Amino acid sequence: MKVTVKSWTGVATWRWIANDDNCGICRMPFDSCCPDCKLPGDDCPLVWGACSHCFHIHCIVKWLHSQPQQQCPMCRQDWKFNNK
């Protein structure tokens, strides 16, 4: 071996994988945060429903609280958090 690798320091960035660019409720980009938050990232995470639609967690929770029925605002299916 001419050269051996002793150690490696990796640097990577992460971003959300979502099927849309903007949150369907607040219309803000997923890379940004919901209107009530100041900083995007771990403090303002995204959630996915069983119907595969994706929102800021704060937005969908607010929506579900204001509705009599627990439905996805995009497809009107019953809303279930996708925990996979």
Partner 1 sequence: MSLKPQEVNFDETWSKLKETVEGVVGLQAIERAVWNSRFSDVYALCVAHPEPHADKLYDETRKFLEEHVFRLLDRVKATAFLDSTDYNDGLLNRYVMAWREYSQGVAYLNSLYSYLNLQHIKRQKVSDADIIYGSSAAISFLEHDARQLEVGELGLVIWERVLIKPLSNPMTARIVRALNDARESNPDPAAADILKTAIHSMVEVQSFRLRTPLSLYQQLVVEPFLTSAAAHHSRRAAELLNSGDVSYFMKYVLDGLAREIVLGNKFLHSSSSEAVRACYEQACVASHLPALHAEVERLLKEACEDSPKAAERREDLKRMFMLLKPLGQNAMRPLIEAAHVQAAKEGHAMLAAEHSKDEAHTHFVHSMLSLHSKYKKLFAEVFGGAQPFIGALDKACSEVVNSRAEGESAARAPELLSRYCDTLLRRKGSERDADDKLTAAIVVFKYIDDKDVFQKHYARALARRLIHQLSASMEQEEAMINRLKAACGYEFTNKLHRMFTDVAVSTDLNTKFQQYLRENNLATNTGFFIQVLQAGAWPLGGAMAPLAPPAQLERPARLFETFYRASFSGRRLAWLHHLCTGELRTRYTQRLYHINATTPQCALLLMFETTDSIRAREARETLQLPEEAWARHVRPLVEAGLLISKGDVEGADEEAELLLNLTFTCKRTKIRLTCAAAPASQGGTGPGAGTSSESTHCDDDRKMYLQAAVVRIMKQRKVLRHTELIQEVVSQARGSFAPSVAMIKKCIEALIDKQYLERSPGNLDTYSYLA
- Is 27 a binder of partner 1 (CB under 8 A)? no
- Is 21 a binder of partner 1 (CB under 8 A)? no
Residue 12: CB minimum distance to partner 1, A: 5
Question: Which of 3, 65, 66, 69 lies at the binding interface for partner 1 (CB under 8 A)?
Answer: 3
What is the distance between the alpha carbons of residues 70 and 66, in angstroms, rounded to a whole number? 9
For residues 42-60, b (16+ Cβ closer than 10 Å) or e, as one string? Answer: eebebbbbebebbbbebbb
Question: Residues in the site for partner 1, rule: CB under 8 A?
Answer: 1-18, 31, 38-42, 46, 48, 54, 84
